[in-house]
Structure 1
Amino acid sequence: MSATPNGNHTSAEQPEMPLIEHLLELRNRLLKMVLAVVICFAVIYPFANDLYLLLSQPLRDLLPVGQTMIATDITSPFFAPLKLALVLSVFAAIPIILYQLWSFIAPGLYAHEKRLAFPLLFTSVLLFYAGAAFAYFVVFPLVFGFFTAIGPEGIVELPDISSYLNFVLKMFFAFGIAFEIPIATVLLIMTGATTPNDLAAKRPYVVVACFIIGMLLTPPDIISQTLLAVPMWILFEFGILFGRLVNRDREARAEPDSQ
């Protein structure tokens, strides 16, 4: 029998794989991940400039007539779209990357673990994309509207394209990771690190922590902080709900074994 990472053993019909074969399989999986990113980059890069214009649309729509974005570095017009294309390539390849990771660890899982692991991986991809979409369609218009309206009278706003890209990528990752809270909550419950009742009892502390994280990961304005903290709290509640369902399924499966 082969051992799983947590020390459990798989079924006897799966023979133990030598270490060298494990390393070779891991190398092949990593090469496929890199190849997926490279292929996505080759497809996306020709449209990098158009994609940057699309990405900057929420800010450009709010700039006064006659004002536009600028490049303060001579290399920015080249490297900003290049960086965007590379990041979008990784975003686009995430399903393939997670599938390769799943294929590598799946042989070491029990049947009931496989039944839960793949939906969790699939859901985590959707939640990450949902977080990025929420940032683009909901957060950006409100945040940029706030910043463009609060400036002193007579100040001309000419946002730098590289600074803008760094800002929005930070926001994408912040909201994408924040939307993974239900997955993290379910995993904590599945591993026995905590229980739904314990998490529910710590709800006031979680709400405070959500606002602290929102303060650290977003610009210093109450709008973006609230728009990150409130969804985090709601997603935490969903995590507790799904965690209760996982516990109920586990208890139902354990009852026949105890009889």
Structure 2
Amino acid sequence: MDGENPFENVGADPDGARAQSDGGATVPASGERNVDYDYYDEDDGFIEGPESDQEMPLADHIEEMIKRLGVVILSMALVSVLVLPFAVDLINFIWYSILGSVQSSVTSPRAYQPLALVLARLKVATLAGFVIALPVFVYETYLFMRPGLYKHERRYYLAAVPTSLVLAFIGVAFAFYLVLPFIFSYFVNYSEQAAEVAFGLSETFGLMLLLMGFFAAVFQIPLLIMLAVMMGLTTRQWLADRRLYFWGGFLGVALLFSPDPTGLAPFIVAITMVTLFEATLLLLRWTQR
């Protein structure tokens, strides 16, 4: 070998780059490997892995899940307590804003129970707490699942937190400005032909708050679908192929959780849910996801 060391260039790369095999894929080593990545894909390059692949005992999972749920409930209770002193003002604002668009002379709410006003104050404070608790719930589920999420999945989840709050406010506004005035207008026009209409505080205000809270939750549908598709839990085609099952489920949920003496609210809720579902699928198709 003319005095040359036969082992001098073992492992050297004539182009100045090493190559190693990782799961059947060739990993170009242009510098140190980033510790945030788990493996190399020939098409996508370095792919980041979850923070931890260690499995926790079931008891630890349940304990952490209860703690996360406790944070959500505590956040909801705290916001409700903060809103409670302003509850009467919110009751008057909601009452006269919705019914004022229906009747030329809005009658004051009738309290047919001794605790009607107290319960109404608690309900409106709880609604405020529920709306704020929705993004808190998304964030707590993110913290619960974070050790097993890839880096890009963590970004998707964090982006969903403010989006959840925005969608909740849109849902409340949709019910406040469109759905509730339409329902009460239909009810008044139908009933005025045979009787004088008077609104009880408990039943009427309970329906208002229930629908506003329900629409705050319903408007999370696009977020949940987008999050599931971007994280690889499902595909647009899988959802599209089973749309009739989802439509039936939406109708069942609307009939179950939308008590309304006119019978109109459940169908409006179901139509809204189907529209949000189909609009999200259309958006996914447009973005080719």
TM-score by length of 1: 0.71
1:82-110 deviation digits (Å, cap 9, x = unpaired) = 22212322322333343233223212211
Residue of structure 2 in register with 1:234 after alignment: 275
Structure 1: 5+ residue stretches without partners: 1-9, 249-259
Q: 117, 121, 126: which one pairs with 1:77?
A: 117
- The answer to whether the 8 Å contact 1:186/1:242 transfers is no
Residue of structure 2 in register with 1:37 after alignment: 76
Q: 173, 185, 188: which one pairs with 1:145?
A: 185
Residue of structure 1 in register with 2:211 after alignment: 171
SS at match of 1:56: helix
1:13-47 deviation digits (Å, cap 9, x = unpaired) = 64748657666655654454344233312321110
Identity %: 27
Residue of structure 2 in register with 1:256 after alignment: none
Residue of structure 2 in register with 1:113 after alignment: 153
Comparing 184-193 with 39-48, greater Cα deviation is found at 184-193
Matched, 1:185 2:225: yes
Number of residues of Structure 1 aligned to a counterpart in Structure 2: 238
Comparing 210-219 with 160-169, greater Cα deviation is found at 210-219
- The answer to whether the 8 Å contact 1:60/1:68 transfers is no
Measured in 2, the distance between the counterparts of 1:41 and 1:116 equals 29
Give 1:136 shift: 0.5
Greater share of strand: 2
- The answer to whether the 8 Å contact 1:196/1:244 transfers is yes
Measured in 2, the distance between the counterparts of 1:200 and 1:194 equals 11
- The answer to whether the 8 Å contact 1:214/1:228 transfers is no
Give 1:51 shift: 0.8
- The answer to whether the 8 Å contact 1:67/1:156 transfers is no
Greater share of helix: 1
Structure 2: 5+ residue stretches without partners: 1-47
Measured in 2, the distance between the counterparts of 1:176 and 1:115 equals 24
Give 1:158 shift: 1.7
Give 1:141 shift: 1.4
Residue of structure 2 in register with 1:257 after alignment: none
1:166-196 deviation digits (Å, cap 9, x = unpaired) = 2123312432333233234335645767643
1:189-218 deviation digits (Å, cap 9, x = unpaired) = 457676433544566x47964884597236
Give the alignment's Cα RMSD to 1 decimal. 3.7
2:215 aligned partner, one-letter code: F
SS at match of 2:93: helix
TM-score by length of 2: 0.65
- The answer to whether the 8 Å contact 2:130/2:213 transfers is no
Matched, 1:87 2:127: yes
Residue of structure 2 in register with 1:254 after alignment: none
Give 1:161 shift: 0.9
Greater relative contact order structure (CA < 8 Å, 6+ sep): 1
- The answer to whether the 8 Å contact 1:206/1:233 transfers is no
1:238 aligned partner, one-letter code: A
Residue of structure 2 in register with 1:160 after alignment: 200
Q: How does 1:94-109 map to 2 (within 5 A)?
A: 94-109=134-149
- The answer to whether the 8 Å contact 2:169/2:216 transfers is yes
1:55-77 deviation digits (Å, cap 9, x = unpaired) = 21212553453733201101112
1:115 aligned partner, one-letter code: R
Comparing 188-197 with 67-76, greater Cα deviation is found at 188-197
